[in-house]
Amino acid sequence: MSRAVIVVRTANRPEILNRCIAAALDGCDVARAAHWVVLDDSSPDKLIPTREIAQYWNRFGLRLAYVDKTVEEQIADSLPGSTFSSYFAHLAARPPVCRTGGGRTLALTAGLSLNPDMLFFIDDDMVHRHDGNCFFHWCACSSRPDSFVAAPRKLGISDMAYLNRLVAVLDRDDWAQLLSDAGISLDPDSWYSPKNPFWKRRDEDIDGAPATVTERDVVSGQFMALRNSGTEWLPFPSQYNEDLNWCILQSACFGTTFLKLAGANVQHLPPLLGHPKAESILSELVGTALLRALREIKPRGEQPLSALAVRLPDVLAAELKRELFLFLRLERAILARVRVFADGVPAGGTVSKLGSTLAEVGKRLESIDSRHLAAEWLDDFAGRCKMFHELRSNEMVQKQIRRVLLEASV
How does residue 259 score in pLDDT terms, banded at 50, 70 and 90?
Answer: very high
Of residues 179, 125, 95, the one with CA closest to residue 13: 125
Do 20 and 122 form a contact (C-beta atoms < 8 A)?
yes
- Cα separation, 321 vs 182, whole angstroms: 31
Provide mean pLDDT across the span 370-380. 93
Whether residue 128 lies inside any domain: the answer is yes
3-state helix, strand, coil in the chain (%, to 5): 55, 15, 30
Residue 135 contacts by C-beta under 8 Å, 6 or more apart in sequence? 128, 150, 152, 223, 225, 261, 264, 265, 266
Whether residue 321 lies inside any domain: the answer is no
Pairwise pLDDT comparison (13 vs 172), residue with the higher score: 13
Residue-wise pLDDT for 32-71, tens only, equals 999 999 999 998 999 999 999 999 999 989 999 999 999 9
Q: What is the structure's pLDDT at 107? A: 94
Whether 1 has a pLDDT exceeding 60, the answer reads no
Whether residue 295 lies inside any domain: the answer is no
Pairing of strands 63-67, 35-40: parallel
Q: To which H or E segment does residue 337 belong?
A: helix 304-341
Whether residue 339 lies inside any domain: the answer is no
Contacts made by residues 373-377, CB under 8 angstroms, sequence distance 24+:
373/286, 373/316, 373/320, 374/312, 374/313, 374/316, 374/317, 375/313, 377/237, 377/238, 377/239, 377/290, 377/312
Pairing of strands 223-227, 148-156: antiparallel
pTM listed for this prediction: 0.93
Q: What is the structure's pLDDT at 377? A: 94
Whether residue 309 lies inside any domain: the answer is no
DSSP reduced 3-state for 409? coil
Residue-wise pLDDT for 93-136, tens only, equals 876 655 455 689 999 999 999 999 999 999 999 999 877 789 99
Pairwise pLDDT comparison (200 vs 28), residue with the higher score: 28
Whether 240 has a pLDDT exceeding 70, the answer reads yes
Q: What is the structure's pLDDT at 24? A: 96
Whether 218 has a pLDDT exceeding 80, the answer reads no
Pairwise pLDDT comparison (327 vs 1), residue with the higher score: 327
The angle formed by the CA atoms of residues 246, 248 and 253, to the nearest 5 degrees, is 90
Whether residue 113 lies inside any domain: the answer is yes
Pairwise pLDDT comparison (347 vs 221), residue with the higher score: 221
Q: What is the structure's pLDDT at 98? A: 53
Pairwise pLDDT comparison (406 vs 343), residue with the higher score: 406
Residue-wise pLDDT for 269-301, tens only, equals 998 888 888 988 998 899 999 999 999 998 776
Whether residue 369 lies inside any domain: the answer is no
Residue-wise pLDDT for 290-342, tens only, equals 999 999 998 776 678 888 889 999 999 999 999 999 888 888 888 777 777 65
Residue 157 pairs in a beta bridge with: 199
Whether residue 191 lies inside any domain: the answer is no
Provide mean pLDDT across the span 258-275. 88
How does residue 351 score in pLDDT terms, banded at 50, 70 and 90?
Answer: confident
Of residues 108, 118, 147, the one with CA closest to residue 401: 108
Domain interval for residue 12: 1-157+200-274
- Cα separation, 228 vs 118, whole angstroms: 6
Q: What's the CATH code of the domain at 149?
A: 3.90.550.10
Cβ atoms within 10 Å, residue 182: 11
Q: Please give the share of the chain, as a percent, with pLDDT higher than 90.
A: 53
How does residue 208 score in pLDDT terms, banded at 50, 70 and 90?
Answer: low
Residue-wise pLDDT for 142-187, tens only, equals 888 889 999 998 889 888 888 888 888 888 888 888 888 888 877 7
Domains of the chain: total: 1
Q: Which of 82-91, 205-214, 229-238, 261-270 is most confident?
A: 82-91
Q: What is the structure's pLDDT at 299? A: 78
Whether 204 has a pLDDT exceeding 60, the answer reads no
Residue-wise pLDDT for 79-95, tens only, equals 998 999 999 999 998 76
Q: 33: number of CA atoms within 13 Å, CB side?
A: 13
